[in-house]
Amino acid sequence: MTFINQNIKFPDVSLASKEGILTIGGDLSPERLVLAYKSGIFPWFDAEEPIIWWSPDPRFVLFPKKLKVSKSMNQVLRSTSFEVTINKDFEAVIEHCSKIKRNGQEGTWITKNMKEAYVKLHKLGYALSVEVWLENKLVGGLYGLDMKNGVFCGESMFSTISNASKVGFITFIQNSSYSLIDCQVYTNHLESLGAEDISRDEFLKYL
């Protein structure tokens, strides 16, 4: 295990552990975060932990052309009155993502410092949000990083009512021109939508 200081650099991702942990330390400055994502690295840690940087192998991704939309979900997309927007309220989305309760998870990894860091990235044009509204109330959404090269690195999503985040995610992908959506690590939810594992080396080619 390596530790990094304030220099804006990372070890080679091939040095990551079997679990995907690459290094520990550093900061959440915009410069470091952008370098991390461009290098196939992302931060993920609990509030009481130091900053932990990950680069898992395999990488869980979704190719937009392989997006799976069930018949029931297509009916939801056609019949509901959800409104989907982009970058209408980034701070509200990340705040909701930090507070939503998730099965098997205590607390949140989206700490105050993390929120501040991604708000800065949003203001710099890297981080974007997708909002889902129902009767002018924010009921779902997601946020992540647009790497400006055809790759979107998803970070987190939330939903306060059934299907809201799915509607946002599917609508966003269907109306985007991305070649790859980085989902980072496996989840049943994203697998049901068509996400799959690819090798880290293959993932890095897209970056």
Structure token pair of residue 1: 């295990």
**Domain regions of the chain by residue span:** 2-58, 60-206
- What CATH code would you report for 60-206? 3.40.630.70
Considering only residues 75 and 108, tell me which one the structure prediction assigns the higher pLDDT. 75
* 119 Cβ contact partners less than 8 Å away, ≥ 6 residues apart: 90, 91, 94, 127
Q: How far is CA 14 from CA 11, 43, 55, 187, in A?
A: 8, 17, 9, 24
Alpha-helix runs per DSSP H in 69-187:
71-79, 90-99, 112-123, 164-174
pLDDT of residue 153: 98
**Quick one: which H or E segment has residue 37?**
helix 30-38
Does 107 score more than 50 pLDDT? no
Is 2-58 CATH 3.30.70.3550?
Answer: yes
Could you tell me the pLDDT band of residue 5, with boundaries at 50, 70 and 90?
confident
* Pair 91, 119: CB distance under 8 Å: yes
pLDDT of residue 180: 98
pLDDT tens-place string over residues 143-198: 999 999 999 999 999 999 999 999 999 999 999 999 999 999 999 989 999 999 99
What strand order describes the sheet that includes 21-25? Answer: 2-4, 21-25, 52-54, 42-43
Could you tell me the pLDDT band of residue 108, with boundaries at 50, 70 and 90?
low
Structure token pair of residue 177: 């021109």
